[in-house]
Chains A and B, each alone.
Chain A
Amino acid sequence: MTDLHILRDTLVDRATKSDTPRDVLKAPEFKALYAEIPKLDPKERGVYGKQINELKIALEQAIEAREHELDDATVISLDVTAPWDINSKPLQFLPTDQGSLHPLTRELERVIDIFTRMGFDAHESRQIDNDLNMFGALNFPEGHPARDGYDTFRTEEGFIPPAHTSTMQNRVLRAGKATLEAGGQIASISYGRVFRNEDVDATHEHTFYQCEGVFVSDSATLAQMMGTLRAFFEEYYGQKLKIKTQPGYFPFVEPGLEFQIEKPAALGGKPGDWLEMLGCGMIHPNVLSAADIDPTVYRGFAWGGGIERLVMLKYGIEDLRHFEAGKLAFLRKFA
């Protein structure tokens, strides 16, 4: 039997110098090793097999390194300052009619535009946050059952990919406190990507988009909340709409409601068809206090809803998974 160490060094060396390093795997000396196996005492085969394997791994590494080296040597530097390559022609743009915005960002732009015109400023929500913003400042005590509904991911450090855009609420309230106390209002929306630990299928995604709004003044009312939301949806769908609510339970609002609109004609709605659009409510005094806003002086309302649903209803999109799949067959339908 050949000394495996010597053989390894020989083969590795050969691979390191070869222009076709992968051929070393076909070397007769190497193949012969395998032929030895059946001749061995079955007790010894295990140890021997392991040694051959180690040799093979070492060889593979050497081959890959050499292949990389060979590849690397063939790289030709470019004149990166030139407008086009040597001996080629001025370049054309891709056909402009193929270009598209993602339907989610396009719809978000529209939502943001309407709220901006209504007097709300807009900020993108964070994609990594802490327990305080995600739960603590929103009146979810540690271990509270309501936390279960959010199926949050966690990082090793205990950071949370936020499960709702309300993760921005404490920051928005803190940022607006001065304006509020100077006699103004807080009117702000937060939009962006949120995450839930959910298996993906046609109607579930672990990654999706929400838009959340907050309004605080010294005279905010639930009636104003319903009026504001109705005004938004009437603008969004370009028609008068009936609205109704359902009691809902979210620890950061009191009262809490689910907000529905009568299905708009644009979506093929008939009287009596209702669509659940979002959750909303009067901001819980504990949430205002958590932002150092005196709940005995100021009141506010907040709401939050998904963007995918708006887009799916609008286009009749059948499967949530399209949105993050990056398939041109889907994307170019929005060109």
Chain B
Amino acid sequence: MIISVNWLKQFTPIDTPIDELTELIGARLVEIEDVTDLSKKYKGVVVAKVIECEELKGSDHLNVTKIDDGGVVEDVERDENGFVQVVCGAPNVRAGLSVAWLPPKSTVPESFGDKEPFVLSARKLRGTTSNGMLASAKELDLFEDHTGILEIDKDAKPGTSFAELYELDDYLIDIENKSLTHRPDAFGIIGFAREVAAIQGKQFTTPAWLMDTTPTFIDKVGDVVTPAVTIDTPELSAKYTAIVMSDADTGVQSPLDIQTYLSRVGVRPINAIVDVTNYLMMLTGQPLHAFDYDKLIALNEGKADIHVRSGRTDETLKLLDGRTIELSENDIVIANGDVPVALAGAMGGAATEIDETTKNIIIESATFNLYNLRNTQMRHGIFSEAITRFTKGQPAALCEAVLAAAVRLIAGSTGAVRSSDIAAAVSNVQSNDPITLTVEQLNETLGSKFSTADIVDTLQNVEFMIPESDDASSITAVAPFWRSDIHIPEDIIEEVGRLNGFDTIEPTLPLRDFTAISPDSFDQMRSTIRHTLARAGANEVLTYSFVHGDVLTKSGLSPDNSYKITNSISPDLQYYRQSLTPSLLGLVHSNIKSGFDTFALFELNKVHTKTAELTSDGVPVELDRVGLVVAGKKSNGATYYEARKILDYLASSLGLSLEYKPFTKDASMVLMTPFEYRRSARVIDVKSGIALGVIGEYKKSVAKHFKLSARSAGFELLGEGLALAVKQVTPAYVPATKYPSSERDVCYKVATSVTYAAIVTALHEAKQAHETVAIDIQPVDIYQAPDTDTKNITIRIAIAPMDKTLTNEEVTAIVDRLSKAVVAATQATVI
């Protein structure tokens, strides 16, 4: 919304410099997006009088004029009388006319701000010098007008600044509408001026005509039957008023004052009647609509029987913009009899449009249900000045005052007369109840030190009614009718704080005790995981929570188990993801293509499945996951082991020790589906026995879909399982021994079907028998000769005695006993 500072000044004095004013408005009323200094645009435009006007010889349309600028423009060629010669091609140029002259060196306002603004000069047209030009409304960037040059309609001495004459030495403030959603009153110049007065600490007085909720209309001339007005559904409209005016002349234009004010705030002047309705809307925030009365009654056997009702799905309506729309039950319709004539609050119908033949008009001043209009606005894509205001909820109390003003102004500018009585239907007019609060309550909420007088003054400045009271510690206030947003003491507190400036309140800090606040244990664990994985050379990613249905199906998941977004931006974002792995797999190919040949990507995030239950408050349970994929161009054996190395490192940083259990068959659980079961393992926490997730390589079909390189593997862990396991971790410290320790490498030849774990488990079980030595078991080598069905697993057994130095024989005896256990368990041959 654009606010003209000069227009504000018609209602409240403003002597603050513009920078301070905008700072103040920003801090106490509404965010400002932009400020334009209009005077720059009109710099140099001068009011001049055409003294002589003669046809230019040899031209069919050009005239040579002599104009009087009062001698104010310097450095311009003048004749012996001091007049300036200007050539003009406009059909309406004539002697005696008062015009806007753009002298040489001035910039044509229409081109102001362009990359190459049009700067005038003295130049010859058909051999005759023209000093600058006489400007049209379009060249002055006011409005489209094809009739010729602008005819100044005020008495002004030649040489007067054009900008001053029409108050175009103005600042335009572009404000952010969104933060005034709850303030219908601020959508009119008068309401905005009220705020501007109050934030400067000044009393505002609303013009009496606007305060008059039961206004006197100008005298009635003629006797048109007062239209019948009915609000069929009370919820749709609190108040609907209408009146008929006769002998309207749609050919009459508004005074330039009104036209220039409308055009500077972005409203195109049309004719005096339409201009008045727009002018009053900009001024008061109350939109008006004028119908062609004769066209309207022709639709209903010559009668005006207006109904405000819901649209019907079988109805259509041709709008002023030429579109024919299908109505819905959420639209509010103005109907004459049963015929829809306007989409209420949004746009008039084409059938009752005012045109050059219009003689009689019916003016509507009403208020409509903002929720319905919001719906209408979105469905039909109508974003007019009127609906913008209606959707803020204009008060019903404004309707009649603004209607009376419209009748008065239209009569004044077009000679039309009021020919009917006012027709009004009221379903519900709300009044504001008194609100009482204590001064203490206000100051305790804001942390401020306002006195009773401060508060009273502030509220009275914006015309709250404060009844006299003996009790200085409390205040009772009644908000004026245009403040439908004031209901509770907090609203009054906001008002006082805001108008005086929240920034004038001294910031303090709340008091707290010395109790330590600890980060959530889950957050602490996640932090450890992140930092550990990054230390392991992996890169943390964040990927979207929503995926394409194909990503699910290609990963072996059913979209039916995903919450589906009904209004998604694209099919790529249609389903909640059930696991992290597919999202991570989606990143592998593009990163390899970008030239990264070895990497691991991980994410800690939430997933959602329909099979998971709802929480006690009825929303889906959220599952935390840790996902990682390691990938690269060249591999060193199965990539599974690369993922495992990272996972083992992660586990040890969390104090966990993991067991990897093979799968015996493919499983359909969500976590598992992308993984190839023969090359994957279940991850189990050894101490607690909690299943933590899956690690492995991916199914060939999955690899194909995601264009994975052969070197791809990863894991996905359950955050909740990890947290439970971590909770059970106890510090395990074994003092280092004082005695020399020994190491032996032993190679076990076993069948290929024997697992590494079988050997290690046998060793671990056997070492229990040796309480006084610490035995550490580490892999050294895993070898399989070509075309054999056995493999050689070499283990380094480190023996650290706790209580004495061991002899070589004693060490050998221990190793032999351990090996014997391996042989017994796995039929190994020690070699």
Residues of A within 8 A of B (CB): 68, 71-72, 75-91, 93-102, 104-105, 109, 112-113, 116-117, 119-124, 126-130, 133, 143-146, 148-149, 153-157, 159, 161, 171, 185, 187, 193, 195, 197-200, 206-207, 215, 217, 219-224, 226-228, 230-231, 243-249, 254-258, 282, 284-285, 299, 323-324, 326-329, 331-332, 335
CB within 8 Å for A222 and B680 given contacts A109-B527, A328-B591: no
Output the residue of B371, B507, B637 with the most chain A CB within 10 A: B507
Could you write out 12 A-B pairs with CB less than 8 Å apart? A78-B679, A81-B660, A93-B536, A93-B646, A105-B542, A145-B392, A246-B31, A246-B179, A247-B498, A254-B491, A255-B498, A285-B490
**Contact pattern, B 664-705, Cβ under 8 Å of A = 1, otherwise 0:** 000000000000101111000000000000011100110000
Instruction: Write the nearest CB–CB distance from A117 to chain B, whole angstroms.
Output: 8
**Contact pattern, B 540-583, Cβ under 8 Å of A = 1, otherwise 0:** 11111110000000000000000111111100010010000000
The complex places the Cα of A331 from the Cα of B507 at a distance, in Å, of: 39
Q: Is the CB of B637 within 8 A of A328?
A: no
If over half of B's interface residues share one DSSP class (helix, strand or loop), that class is named, otherwise mixed; here it is mixed
Q: Is the CB of A254 within 8 A of B490?
A: yes
B755 CB contacts on chain A under 8 angstroms: 79-82
CB within 8 Å for A76 and B701 given contacts A120-B517, A185-B512, A227-B507: no
Q: Is the CB of B679 within 8 A of A77?
A: yes
The complex places the Cα of A328 from the Cα of B506 at a distance, in Å, of: 47
Q: Which of A84, A198, A219, A248 contacts B179 (CB under 8 A)? A: A248
Which residue on B lies nearest to A127, using beta carbons? Answer: B606
Q: Which of A76, A127, A326 contacts B545 (CB under 8 A)? A: A127
**Contact pattern, B 641-675, Cβ under 8 Å of A = 1, otherwise 0:** 11011100100000000001110000000000000
Q: Which of B374, B488, B590, B598 contacts A285 (CB under 8 A)? A: B488
Q: Is the CB of A228 within 8 A of B509?
A: yes
Q: Which of B180, B370, B447, B662 contacts A80 (CB under 8 A)? A: B662
Q: Is the CB of B537 within 8 A of A93?
A: yes
B644 CB contacts on chain A under 8 angstroms: 80, 83
The complex places the Cα of A197 from the Cα of B566 at a distance, in Å, of: 11
> Is B622 close to A, CB under 8 A?
yes
B57-101 contacts to A, CB under 8 A, are none
B517 CB contacts on chain A under 8 angstroms: 116-117, 119-121, 187
Q: Is the CB of B530 within 8 A of A257?
A: no
A126 CB contacts on chain B under 8 angstroms: 619, 622
B760 CB contacts on chain A under 8 angstroms: 81
> Is B525 close to A, CB under 8 A?
no
Q: Is the CB of A247 within 8 A of B545?
A: no
Instruction: Write the nearest CB–CB distance from B790 to chain A, whole angstroms.
Output: 11
Instruction: Write the nearest CB–CB distance from A28 to chain B, whole angstroms.
Output: 29
Q: Which of B545, B700, B757 contacts A207 (CB under 8 A)? A: B545
Which residue on B lies nearest to A115, using beta carbons? Answer: B517
CB within 8 Å for A91 and B645 given contacts A78-B679, A224-B447: yes
Residues of B within 8 A of A (CB): 26-31, 178-182, 370-371, 374, 391-392, 444-448, 488, 490-491, 493-494, 497-498, 502-503, 505-510, 512, 515, 517-520, 523, 527, 530-531, 533-546, 563-569, 573, 576, 584, 586-587, 590-591, 594, 596, 598-601, 604-606, 608, 617-620, 622, 630, 636-638, 640-642, 644-646, 649, 660-662, 676, 678-681, 695-697, 700-701, 755-758, 760, 779, 782-784, 791
Q: Is the CB of A84 within 8 A of B641?
A: yes
Q: Is the CB of B598 within 8 A of A199?
A: no
Q: Is the CB of A223 within 8 A of B28?
A: no
Q: Is the CB of B782 within 8 A of A86?
A: yes
Which residue on A lies nearest to B754, using beta carbons? Answer: A79
Q: Is the CB of A222 within 8 A of B505?
A: yes
6 closest A-B pairs (Cβ-Cβ)? A223-B447, A94-B537, A85-B637, A221-B447, A81-B757, A88-B637
A246 CB contacts on chain B under 8 angstroms: 26-27, 30-31, 179
Q: Is the CB of A156 within 8 A of B566?
A: yes
CB within 8 Å for A223 and B507 given contacts A127-B622, A193-B545: yes
The complex places the Cα of A122 from the Cα of B30 at a distance, in Å, of: 32
B491 CB contacts on chain A under 8 angstroms: 254
Q: Is the CB of A102 within 8 A of B542?
A: yes
The complex places the Cα of A155 from the Cα of B755 at a distance, in Å, of: 47
CB within 8 Å for A87 and B784 given contacts A82-B755, A254-B494: yes
CB within 8 Å for A326 and B606 given contacts A128-B622, A245-B503, A282-B445: no
Instruction: Write the nearest CB–CB distance from B515 to chain A, whole angstroms.
Output: 8
Which residue on B lies nearest to A141, using beta carbons? Answer: B371
B519 CB contacts on chain A under 8 angstroms: 112-113, 116, 122
Q: Which of B182, B508, B619, B676 contacts A221 (CB under 8 A)? A: B508
Which residue on A lies nearest to B786, using beta carbons? Answer: A87
Q: Is the CB of B541 within 8 A of A331?
A: yes
The complex places the Cα of A153 from the Cα of B544 at a distance, in Å, of: 14
Instruction: Write the nearest CB–CB distance from A21 to chain B, whole angstroms.
Output: 15
B508 CB contacts on chain A under 8 angstroms: 221, 223-224, 227
The complex places the Cα of A126 from the Cα of B28 at a distance, in Å, of: 34
Q: Is the CB of A323 within 8 A of B490?
A: no
Which residue on B lies nearest to A119, using beta carbons? Answer: B512
Instruction: Write the nearest CB–CB distance from B211 to chain A, whole angstroms.
Output: 25
Q: Which of B371, B536, B587, B605 contacts A94 (CB under 8 A)? A: B536
B510 CB contacts on chain A under 8 angstroms: 185, 187, 215, 217, 219-220, 224, 227-228
Instruction: Write the nearest CB–CB distance from B390 to chain A, whole angstroms.
Output: 11
CB within 8 Å for A244 and B28 given contacts A224-B447, A227-B508: no
A248 CB contacts on chain B under 8 angstroms: 31, 179
Q: Is the CB of B622 within 8 A of A72?
A: no
A207 CB contacts on chain B under 8 angstroms: 544-545
The complex places the Cα of A247 from the Cα of B31 at a distance, in Å, of: 8
- Can you name 18 extra interface pairs (CB under 8 A) apart from A80-B680, A195-B545, A324-B543? A68-B700, A76-B679, A80-B644, A86-B783, A88-B641, A94-B646, A96-B536, A102-B541, A143-B371, A145-B391, A159-B619, A161-B565, A187-B512, A220-B510, A247-B179, A323-B542, A326-B543, A328-B594
Q: Is the CB of A222 within 8 A of B445?
A: yes
Instruction: Write the nearest CB–CB distance from B660 to chain A, whole angstroms.
Output: 5
Q: Is the CB of A71 within 8 A of B537?
A: no
The complex places the Cα of A93 from the Cα of B532 at a distance, in Å, of: 12
Instruction: Write the nearest CB–CB distance from A93 to chain B, whole angstroms.
Output: 6
The complex places the Cα of A254 from the Cα of B495 at a distance, in Å, of: 10
Q: Is the CB of A98 within 8 A of B490?
A: no
A78 CB contacts on chain B under 8 angstroms: 638, 640, 678-679, 697
The complex places the Cα of A90 from the Cα of B507 at a distance, in Å, of: 61
A326 CB contacts on chain B under 8 angstroms: 541-543, 584, 586-587, 590-591, 601
A226 CB contacts on chain B under 8 angstroms: 502, 505, 507
The complex places the Cα of A233 from the Cα of B377 at a distance, in Å, of: 40
B503 CB contacts on chain A under 8 angstroms: 243-245
Which residue on B lies nearest to A90, using beta carbons? Answer: B779
Q: Is the CB of A89 within 8 A of B636?
A: yes
Instruction: Write the nearest CB–CB distance from A267 to chain B, whole angstroms.
Output: 21
The complex places the Cα of A80 from the Cα of B600 at a distance, in Å, of: 20
CB within 8 Å for A282 and B178 given contacts A94-B538, A96-B537, A331-B541: no
CB within 8 Å for A222 and B502 given contacts A145-B370, A247-B29: yes
Q: Is the CB of B542 within 8 A of A75?
A: no
Instruction: Write the nearest CB–CB distance from B639 to chain A, whole angstroms.
Output: 9
CB within 8 Å for A102 and B678 given contacts A120-B517, A148-B374: no
Instruction: Write the nearest CB–CB distance from B688 to chain A, whole angstroms.
Output: 19
Q: Is the CB of A77 within 8 A of B678?
A: yes
Q: Is the CB of A86 within 8 A of B391?
A: no
CB within 8 Å for A161 and B505 given contacts A224-B510, A244-B27: no
The complex places the Cα of A77 from the Cα of B697 at a distance, in Å, of: 11
The complex places the Cα of A75 from the Cα of B517 at a distance, in Å, of: 52
A156 CB contacts on chain B under 8 angstroms: 563-564, 566
The complex places the Cα of A154 from the Cα of B527 at a distance, in Å, of: 31
Instruction: Write the nearest CB–CB distance from B489 to chain A, whole angstroms.
Output: 9
Which residue on B lies nearest to A219, using beta carbons? Answer: B444
Q: Is the CB of A98 within 8 A of B539?
A: yes
